[in-house]
Amino acid sequence: MRQKDVVVCFPFKKEDVDVFSKNIKEALSNKRVKEVILVAYSKNETYQGIENFINTLSKEDKERVHLVLQKRFGTKRREGKGDGMNTAIQYFLEHTDGNFLHFYDADIKSFSSSWIDRVQRRLDEGYDVARCFYPRSYTDAQVTWNITRTGFAYVWPDTILPDIEQPLGGELGFNRHIAEKLSKDNIVLSASDWSIDTAFTISFARYNVKLYEVYIEEGKEHKLYGRLSDLKTMATECFDFIKDNKDLVISTDKMVYHKDELKDIPEKYKHMVAFDIKGSINEFKVGWTPKMKEYLVRYFPREIGEKVNNVLTGKDTEFIDIDLWFESYGVFMKYFDISDKDWRELFFKLWVLRVLNHAKLAIKYPDKAIKHLRTMLTLFRERRMAKRL
């Protein structure tokens, strides 16, 4: 039997203590897991609850669990999950002698010890990084599709980056060598907020790693959002990170990328609606400031301004298609400023119109809609490649 050489980290902020405790137990029960690092955002109620839970463990297990507070690594972005993950990497390198570090979200109800085996199997085969991906509702994953994968296609069209299924996935494992590289990488250290997952993804490409994407068939059951506005911070931070790094030259010619074959998505995921559509339309209609309207007129093609007005007056129910999204994306790439609330709100609002266009199609023709998202990536890629010719 192989030695215990895996360290598992759960970053957490505010979570259900019972779900989280069960996940810690699952990790401790895995034959390969040596230690478990829990990185907290603050000493809040969840922290107290988890501290109490640790006290119920056997003396032996207690010594294998480390509850630590996240440190501040980034300086210009919000303190968030990125600081948590970077703290874990530092702790892993300084306080453990594990060969592999895995991350899992704390809120996953379907998590089990076998996820660790499925990730570790690929690392044992020689891949540097193994990352999980899941079946998802056809109306879900809209930050991934319309911000991250499109962004990759826009900025790095001739790489494999846009092909990565779930570049924002927080469940992944890598070897100690990669941990060392990440711990010294300023692009990663600066990604202190929701941009950390994107920072990892582009850095794996920058390092030319061998990457494997592991399909977790049973899906990631975790706390869901109700309205698109719950994703506002995540959407803008993920976009801003790509914009911020748009001048990075990345070639993935030497990278190895394999993934599990995509099985047919279970029917229930095809028809599940991930958010409140009516509520999102109503939310879209309020909160327009004079500055947002001014930006719309000054920087965007006339068609987009007209589109917004027509949605506001109920005259348009088609929202933003992939062509208009490409145009909008280009404008945001040039002018978006995360420190300006009006730009953040405007970005979010146009993204909502893009998501609504997709959701409408997905409800009527699920399979067509998912194909159409792939068409969007091709459109972004081809237009950007053509620009380089």
List residues near ligand GDP by CB under 6 A: 11-13, 15, 39-41, 70, 80-81, 84, 105-107, 170, 222-223
Size of the site for Mg ion (CB under 5 A): 3
Q: How far is the CB of 47 from Mg ion (least distance, A)?
A: 18
Q: How far apart are CA 267 and CA 217, in angstroms?
A: 13
Residue whose CB is nearest to Mg ion in the complex, by number: 222
Q: Which is nearer to ligand GDP, 215 or 335 (CB)?
A: 215
Q: Name the binder of 325 from Mg ion, ligand GDP, none, CB < 5-8 A by kind.
A: none
Q: Which is nearer to ligand GDP, 223 or 254 (CB)?
A: 223
| Candidate segments 45-53, 99-107, 125-133, 138-146, binder of Mg ion by CB under 5 A | 99-107
- 15, 83, 107, 193: which one binds Mg ion (CB under 5 A): 107
Cβ neighbors of 42 (< 8 A, separation 6 or more) are 13, 69
Q: Name the binder of 12 from ligand GDP, Mg ion, none, CB < 5-8 A by kind.
A: ligand GDP
Q: Name the binder of 11 from ligand GDP, Mg ion, none, CB < 5-8 A by kind.
A: ligand GDP
Q: Which is nearer to Mg ion, 145 or 329 (CB)?
A: 145
Cα 176-182-183 angle, rounded to 5 deg: 90
Sites for Mg ion among residues 200-229 (CB under 5 A): 222
Three-class secondary structure of residue 72 per DSSP: coil
Q: Which residues pair with 40 in a beta bridge?
A: 12, 69
Q: At what angle do helices 81-95 and 176-183 cross, to 10 degrees?
A: 120
Q: How far is the CB of 131 from ligand GDP (least distance, A)?
A: 14
CB-based burial of residue 215 (10 Å sphere; 0-12 exposed, 13-18 middle, 19+ buried)? Answer: middle
Q: How far is the CB of 138 from ligand GDP (least distance, A)?
A: 17
| Candidate segments 37-45, 57-65, 76-84, 97-105, binder of Mg ion by CB under 5 A | 97-105
Q: Which residues pair with 195 in a beta bridge?
A: none
Q: Name the binder of 15 from ligand GDP, Mg ion, none, CB < 5-8 A by kind.
A: ligand GDP
Q: How far is the CB of 253 from ligand GDP (least distance, A)?
A: 31
Q: How far apart are CA 389 and CA 232, in angstroms?
A: 36
Helix (H) or strand (E) holding 370: helix 366-388
CA separation (Å) from 256 to 18, 155, 157, 213? Answer: 39, 20, 17, 11
Sheet holding 6-12, edge to edge: 65-69, 33-40, 6-12, 100-103, 172-175, 129-133, 210-215, 256-259
Give phi and psi for 213, each to the nearest 5: -100, 120
Q: Name the binder of 81 from Mg ion, ligand GDP, none, CB < 5-8 A by kind.
A: ligand GDP
Site residues (CB under 5 A) for Mg ion? Answer: 105, 107, 222
